[in-house]
Every structure is written in C-alpha cells, then in structure tokens.
Amino acid sequence: MSARPNVLAIDGPAAAGKGTLARRLAAALHLPYLDTGLLYRAVARRLLDAGADAGDPVAAEAQARALTTADLDAPNLRTPQIDRAAAAVASLPLVRAALLAFQRDFATAHGAVLDGRDIGTIIFPDARAKLFVTASVDARARRRWLELQQRGVVAAFDTVRDDMQARDAADASRAAAPLRPAPDAILIDTTALDADQAFAAAIAHLAALGWYADANENR
C-alpha cells in the first residue's frame, strides 16, 4: 500500500478527453469521480442567476461558499456563456480557496479520481498518480464543436476554436493556480488517440505503479 492518498489527479486543457478518461479510470479503480470544472461552472451559474457580474470577487466568493452538491446537477452548465463565466470566476483566488475544502473532502473517505486544471499541482500535490491530458487545439476544438452540434447548439467552428484558445490562455496565464503539468505528471497526448487508446495508455501507467492490480486483486 502507498502512503500517498488514493487520488488520481487528471489535469489538462478543455476538451482534451479528461472527462471520458477520468470516468473510465474511476470505474476501473472502483473510486468516486469528481469533475472539478463543474464546481466553477456551478459557481458561475449561481452568480449569473443572482444577477451579479462573473468578475465580482465578493459576490463570487459568497456563491462559492454557498455551493452545494445539488448545484452540480443544474441544467445549462455547459453553455458558451457559462464557459466564459466559469473561466472568469476560476481566476479569482477567493473562489479557488473557497472550493479547496470541497475538493479535498470529496476524496477523504475512499480516495477519488478528480479532473481539472490544478489537481496535481495545488489540490492534491501528493496524489498517488498524476496524468496531464492534452491534445492539439484543432483536435480539441473539433471535439467541442461536434459535442455542441450533437446537443443541437449551433456554433461556427472558428468561434469555438477562438473561444477555446482564449480560455486556455486565461487558464494558463492567471496568477492563481495556473494550468500547468505537475513535475511528476505523466503526459498523455490524445490528438491521435481514441478513447480506448487513451484509456490503455493510462492503465499502462497505473499498472507500472502497481495501482491497477491493487484496485482489482480482491474483486
């Protein structure tokens, strides 16, 4: 057994395939899964619903402190408007501080798989394993555009790509918990990988750490 918390940290930019991979790995490791992007999206939703500005630090911190798990089930957390507002609230240090305990508590009882931007660097720097999942901006924009199309949201590809690049730049350049790989993260580039290949690459890494066998030996 490892002394490190049973946490798998998965970070990376938007639409790199983190969510799909994280869900499958959580099932394989028999661990709960938290999409931490949803926390920032739900804070943004609460803020806009309250008529406040997404850049208002005082209102945003109050909404972050009032966040409940029920807020994560709110409809319309994945609209382009919430994409932008979530990136704005995520740049506020008071919001990030307010959401820290929520994320750590989630993993306390059983460990967890968490995906986001700062899981391996700030939330769980001592995670048992860390992945940094990325892909070219064109590949990611195409995936997001197809996802929007499937949901019936009409958007021009160039707009989706430009919005994504703007969000990536904001996430990577902000002072509070910027998006960057932890020094001990394993990089998985999904540009040319499908979901099964990305899963296989991640499992190979966990198997090398002995974790995958641990999780399944008594089942």
Instruction: Kindly state whether residue 86 participates in binding ligand C5P, applying the rule CB under 6 A.
Output: yes
- Residues 175-194 close enough to bind ligand C5P by CB under 6 A: none
Place of tokens 């990988």: 193
Closer residue to ligand C5P in complex, CB, 126/213: 126
Nearer to ligand C5P, 62 or 164 (CB): 164
- Strands (DSSP E) contained in the chain are 7-11, 33-35, 112-116, 129-134, 186-189
Residue type at 28? A
Residue entry with tokens 């700030």: 122
Query: Where do runs of H (alpha helix) occur along 91-136?
Result: 93-108
Q: How far apart are CA 171 and CA 215, in angstroms?
A: 33
Of residues 17, 37, 111, 120, which one binds ligand C5P by CB under 6 A? 37
- Total Cβ atoms within 10 A of residue 86: 23
Q: Any contact of residue 87 with ligand C5P (CB under 6 A)?
A: yes
* 48 burial type by CB count under 10 A (0-12 exposed, 13-18 middle, 19+ buried): middle
Nearer to ligand C5P, 61 or 171 (CB): 171
Number of residues that bind ligand C5P (CB under 6 A): 13
For ligand C5P, which is the closer residue by CB, 172 or 187?
A: 172
Residue 34 touching ligand C5P (CB under 6 A): no
Is residue 14 close enough to count as binding ligand C5P by CB under 6 A?
A: yes
Residue 23 CA to residue 12 CA, distance in Å, equals 15
Q: Does 113 bind ligand C5P (CB under 6 A)?
A: no
- The reply to whether 167 sits near ligand C5P by the rule CB under 6 A is yes
Among 90, 107, 127, 139, binds ligand C5P (CB under 6 A): 90
Under the binding rule (CB under 6 A), the answer on residue 40 touching ligand C5P is yes
Look-up: residue for tokens 């992945």?
Answer: 131
Residue found by looking up tokens 């998006």 in the block: 179
Nearer of residues 162 and 216 to ligand C5P, judged by Cβ: 162
| Chain contacts with ligand C5P (rule: CB under 6 A) | 14, 36-37, 40-41, 86-87, 90, 116-118, 167, 171
